[in-house]
Chains A and B, each alone.
Chain A
Amino acid sequence: MNARVKTSPAFWSFDGFALGARLGAPLLPGMIAFGLAVGSTGAANGLTLAESILMNGLVYAGLSQMAALGVWPSEMTSGAIVGLALLVFTVNSRLLLAGAGLQPWLGTLPASQVYPTLYLLTDPGWIIAMRYRAEGGADAAIILGGGLLFYAFWMVATTVGHLAGSLVPDPQAIALDLVVPVFFAAMLVPLWRGPKRALAWAVAGVVALAFYFFVEGWWYVIAGSVAGIVAGGFVDDD
């Protein structure tokens, strides 16, 4: 598994679009459950249906929306707006790393194709894409296929969640909160490149835990990720 996979330049195809949707499908139960929860949380915080649809469709980053709704002000001042934007930026800053990771692959495509596609970038979509790329894939349409599938189900789930309000079942009770973590853990298997390379993962884990225990807030993901990535740069090819 240590041999470098030869990769070819990026392109788009309908087959890739379909493959992207198929690769993303196992995550749909978790995404629907999470979307229902985000929708009902928005309603509980006094968002109107239109506000809810706009937030879910435009921001389209559930974890950061939950964080924002957790501190949603009853009176929206300009200071509160700046605070919400900063909070959302912090929670989503891991997507900076995701985008950076896509540059060597998508960088050869025209900006007019890449930047709209990046609007649909999510963590699971990125992990699927990076695994596909690590195995030699080059078809950029898999990102779009998975992304549009997630977006469509997300919009339906969040809207239903808003309308159903408190009737939405607790995702934890049916373990649907663990779909993404379990999927992520499974993705470590095809991403495995030997124990030496996994040193970067260990560094990521240790730093993430340290931040999780000693630093308040959402910093642990970004701190652990950055530490692991830097460590990865110092592990030589074998």
Chain B
Amino acid sequence: MTIDASPVVLLAILAMTGATYLTRAGGFWLMGYVNLTPRVRRMLEASPGAVIVATVLPLVVRDGIAAAAAVATGAVVMYLLRRDYLAVFAGMAVAAAARAMAG
């Protein structure tokens, strides 16, 4: 079997690979040179929540009621039952139902 790939496309893929790995490794690498003061530690602790909200909120605004209901359900189920699976499953069920109703 021959590998059917164009050299320029391969080059593009390699460039994209390098750019992506730079983001994966670069933050960790740079952070190694930053002094871990209490303020920096608080910033890092805030980071997962900040990234989640910045990712999910615009998506909910764009998608409307189904996404909002799904996301809210996921959070509430997680709060009540502390089970990731159930939170995801319940959120999806609500989204599917809401979209089906919206037609």
Contact = CB atoms under 8 A, between A and B. Distances in A.
A99 B31 contact: yes
A54 B56 CA distance: 29
Interface residues of B, number: 79
Contacts, number: 311
Contacts of B38: 237
A185 B50 CA distance: 11
A100 B23 contact: no
B47 A225 contact: yes
Nearest to B59: A181
B28 to A, nearest CB: 4
Contact of A96 (B27, B41, B61): B27
Interface of A: 23, 25-27, 29-30, 47-51, 54-55, 58-61, 64-65, 68, 76, 80-82, 84-86, 88-89, 92-104, 106-107, 114-115, 118-119, 121, 123, 126-127, 130-131, 134, 172-176, 178-179, 181-191, 193, 197-198, 200-205, 207-209, 212, 220-225, 227-237
Given A88-B19, A95-B27, 15 more contacts: A51-B9, A59-B13, A76-B12, A96-B27, A98-B27, A101-B27, A102-B28, A127-B48, A172-B99, A183-B74, A185-B72, A185-B91, A186-B78, A189-B78, A232-B47
